[in-house]
Structure 1
Amino acid sequence: MHPRVKPALRRGWRDLNTVQFGMAPAHAMVLGPMDTATGSLLNLLDGTRGLPLLRDEARGMGLPDGHVDGLVERLAGAGLLDDATGGGPAVDALREKHKVMDRLRPDLASLSLVARGPGDAPRRLAARRSLRVQVRGAGRVGTVIAATLAGAGVGHVDVRDGGCVEPWDVAPGGLPVESIGERRDEAARRAVHRAAPDRPPRRGGAKSTEEEQPGLSLVVVAPRDGLAVHAPDPAVSEPLIDSGTPHLYAGVVEGTGIVGPLVLPGDTACAGCLDLGRTDRDPTWPRLVAQWRSGRTRDVQACDLALSAAVAGLAAGHALAFLDGETPTSTGARWEVSVPGFHWHAEPVWQHPACTCAAAERAKGEHTSDDERPHETMSGQQPHAARLSGTWRAHV
């Protein structure tokens, strides 16, 4: 082990005996008491020395035997320590790609803030390279999501869409102006390729042409038609439910951005639950949806760049959190934001007992009083709309 104090957190002395790691409250931590000699030893925990050399250095500083091991154990327990050589063969292979690691260094630093154990952050980063994500939609939102996921190290990002690129599909970080007139899916895949820091590792076996083939870690549904994310058709998501494929909705409708729900089939609310719940609250809902779906408009939909960028960024962040093994707050909830105020808020999407996805049956009796709050803003903690009965992880 080559111990390294996580460099993502800036360090400062609050007083002569107390050290603060980090500035922002979300991840900052205070440790004490700590004498000045131990504080000097912290500077040596930079990943260039193994434990035997650190013990020798500590003796030269007049520190007693066992002091280094105790400090390392204490820092590791607080989630403040990394291992510059740990992580396993996949991490070693990634470290050898110096240019790739330079591209991903900010992402690795960010992962170190949430992956507590030494070596956990590079392991998560290396695991992303084997994940397979499909983005359905190559507009201002979908292409940016796909490019962001690829740029963050997700190895296999495919984009599905039809038609050709229109001038209004162009967006910074997404489809370039040079792609106007080209096939949307091909242009989006080139954008993904440009964003990726590395070629994806080869996968064994024959390549299937089925959209719900085994091995999909996540499907991001980001349609160019805002109606398809505002009121997603349950029939369209049935293959995803049947195959057990996690999927996340994201898009813009009439100046409102939507991220969620993240659907974990059989555990959390799906598009069918959303549709049935709305019908319970508003009996005219099915009539309205039928009219909206049958009345196709040829007008360009409202989707300004700032809003689409905000939606794409939040959706990509929630997707990455899920792929890394976390449970983002879009699980069983929809985050919404509208122009011009850009005030994010979340609405829970409950499992419906009449839905064929059967999520309500599994979640029965698992809601708590905290879950009954109607919504929380981005400044508060959003409760998950469902208590997961199992542990969901992205498929490697």
Structure 2
Amino acid sequence: MPTHPLLKPALRRGWRDLETVQFGVAEAHAVVLGPVGSATAAFLTLLDGTRGRELLRHEARRIGLPEGRADAFIERLAAAGLLDTSTGGGPGSEELRRRGPAMERLRSDHATLSVIERRPGGALRRLAARRACRVQVRGAGRTGAMIAALLAGAGVGRVDVLDGGRVEPWEVAPGGHPPEAVGERRADSARRVARRAAPGRPPRPRRRAASEAAEPAAEELGPEPPLALVIGAPRDGLAVHAPDPAAWADLVMAGVPHLYAGVVEGTAVVGPLVLPGLTACAGCAERGRAVRDPAWPRLLAQWRSGTPRQVPPCDLALAATVAGLATAHALALLDGAVPASAGTRWEASLPYLEWRSRASRPHPDCPCGAAPAHTGTAHPSEDSPAHDTMTA
């Protein structure tokens, strides 16, 4: 139970009638509380995080609440997910509180997490957990660079970026590669973008020779945390629409969750999120597609072996949409939820941008091991829309 209870500021309050108060506007997180008498309504105004429990008991007696009613009401509010706390939360939370400017940058993210996290102090614990996470982005084109920046800006502590080649003029995007990065190495530019977006600076690495690794030494930053997630955002949209199982086998073997995101021609693609051993991997998807469409392996071989397009289609607004949605799904996973992209690919195509979901089933012949864990629940095929609209 919180020592300094605070009614969650992110939830707007409104009175439905003289004895019923509603917290929250959106139906997904709104809570209706009643009956609320005049003394109880006055007590609500005292829950601003500045008073401890003993002082609140004293104030409750002063405004006419019966003995014990204050504690019971606080417990009721906490059970309804309406209370936060201005203290506590463990060492990670305390460290974030001490990082004043960095915490100010994350205030809006903290407010959002407080809406979905029912436990008092849970929002700050989630932010602290993000800061301890390590996420890798494979691909630093238009979409990948924006994803790296969004992850870092949302408080993910370590964002690695892998890619080759140099930034092309058509890869410049707001929130991604800046115009002055044209000609620079893609991975270096994307890392720089992520560092600038991050709230607060990481520990300063020691000086090293140019031949040494560009990343800070492990002994200076503490033990390297394991990868919590890899986001595949290759510049070639085909590699998102039909990922090559061999390119992702290392993650399946290591049990590392990975999420595909990108733009193929005029279609935005987010997912599937692969949870190794639980949901279908790239190998499952490829095998299943070959069963449904016998011509698919022949087409795929031609597309993968053909001359790469010099300028791949990647609409700016579509790339930004993918980056935002992919980051939101990634953060949901890091925060402990299983987002709607798990085992499912979300697509939206220009010009109408109607979101569709396509389920990907574990394949019994795939060595990833997901098929035995599959419950057998009926899903539509990957080629058939499961829903007409995107669910939050």
Q: Normalising by the residue count of structure 2, what TM-score does the alignment of the two structures yield?
A: 0.92
Q: Within 2, Cα distance between the matches of 1:274 and 1:36?
A: 60
Shift of 1:369: 5.1
Shift of 1:370: 7.4
Q: Deviations over 1:310-329 (max 9, x none)?
A: 11100000000000110000
* 1:258-277 equivalences in 2 (<5 Å): 258-277=269-288
Which residue is 1:24 aligned to? 26
Q: Deviations over 1:85-106 (max 9, x none)?
A: 0211110111011111110000
* 1:310-349 equivalences in 2 (<5 Å): 310-349=321-360
8 Å Cα contact 1:4/1:82 also seen in 2: yes
- Residue among 73, 76, 80 paired with 1:74: 76
- Residue among 355, 364, 368 paired with 2:377: 368
8 Å Cα contact 2:358/2:380 also seen in 1: no
Q: Within 2, Cα distance between the matches of 1:193 and 1:336?
A: 30
Shift of 1:217: 0.5
Amino acid at match of 1:357: C
Q: Normalising by the residue count of structure 1, what TM-score does the alignment of the two structures yield?
A: 0.91
Which ranges of structure 1 fall in alignment gaps of 5 or more residues?
Answer: 208-212, 382-396
Amino acid at match of 1:12: G
Change (3 A) 1:379 1:133: closer
Change (3 A) 1:165 1:374: closer
Amino acid at match of 2:364: P
Which residue is 1:38 aligned to? 40
Q: Within 2, Cα distance between the matches of 1:204 and 1:69?
A: 50
Q: Within 2, Cα distance between the matches of 1:20 and 1:77?
A: 15
8 Å Cα contact 2:151/2:159 also seen in 1: yes
8 Å Cα contact 1:147/1:191 also seen in 2: yes
Q: Within 1, Cα distance between the matches of 2:191 and 2:225?
A: 21
Give the length in aligned residue pairs.
Answer: 375
3-state SS of 2:136 partner? strand
3-state SS of 2:106 partner? helix
3-state SS of 1:262 partner? strand
- Residue among 343, 346, 350 paired with 2:361: 350
Tell me how large the CA RMSD over aligned residues is. Answer: 1.9
4+ residue runs over 2 A deviation: 199-207, 367-374, 377-381
Amino acid at match of 1:114: I
- Residue among 48, 53, 58 paired with 2:50: 48
Amino acid at match of 1:321: A
Shift of 1:68: 1.2
Q: Deviations over 1:246-299 (max 9, x none)?
A: 100000001101000111111110000110010010011000000001112333
Q: Within 2, Cα distance between the matches of 1:297 and 1:362?
A: 38
Shift of 1:367: 3.1
Q: Within 1, Cα distance between the matches of 2:379 and 2:261?
A: 26
8 Å Cα contact 2:137/2:159 also seen in 1: yes
Q: Within 1, Cα distance between the matches of 2:65 and 2:379?
A: 49
Q: Within 2, Cα distance between the matches of 1:335 and 1:2?
A: 42
Note if 1:89 corresponds to 2:91.
Answer: yes
Amino acid at match of 2:56: L
- Residue among 200, 213, 229 paired with 2:240: 229
8 Å Cα contact 1:153/1:197 also seen in 2: yes
Q: Within 2, Cα distance between the matches of 1:77 and 1:50?
A: 19
8 Å Cα contact 1:140/1:171 also seen in 2: yes
Q: Within 2, Cα distance between the matches of 1:72 and 1:233?
A: 54
Q: Within 2, Cα distance between the matches of 1:298 and 1:42?
A: 62
8 Å Cα contact 1:241/1:357 also seen in 2: yes
Shift of 1:343: 1.0
Change (3 A) 1:6 1:367: farther
Identity of aligned residues (%): 62
Note if 1:159 corresponds to 2:161.
Answer: yes
8 Å Cα contact 1:129/1:201 also seen in 2: no
Q: Within 1, Cα distance between the matches of 2:217 and 2:300?
A: 43
8 Å Cα contact 2:348/2:354 also seen in 1: yes
Q: Deviations over 1:85-131 (max 9, x none)?
A: 02111101110111111100000010011111111111001111110
Q: Within 2, Cα distance between the matches of 1:351 and 1:357?
A: 9
Change (3 A) 1:283 1:375: same
Which residue is 1:12 aligned to? 14
3-state SS of 2:261 partner? strand
Amino acid at match of 1:245: V
Shift of 1:380: 4.7
Q: Within 2, Cα distance between the matches of 1:361 and 1:214?
A: 30
Which ranges of structure 2 fall in alignment gaps of 5 or more residues?
Answer: 205-215
Note if 1:304 corresponds to 2:315.
Answer: yes
Change (3 A) 1:379 1:300: closer
Q: Within 1, Cα distance between the matches of 2:79 and 2:103?
A: 27
8 Å Cα contact 1:221/1:248 also seen in 2: yes
Shift of 1:206: 5.5
Q: Within 2, Cα distance between the matches of 1:250 and 1:379?
A: 16
Shift of 1:179: 0.4
Q: Within 2, Cα distance between the matches of 1:229 and 1:8?
A: 36
Shift of 1:147: 0.5
Change (3 A) 1:256 1:161: same
* 1:115-134 equivalences in 2 (<5 Å): 115-134=117-136
Change (3 A) 1:377 1:37: farther
Amino acid at match of 1:224: R
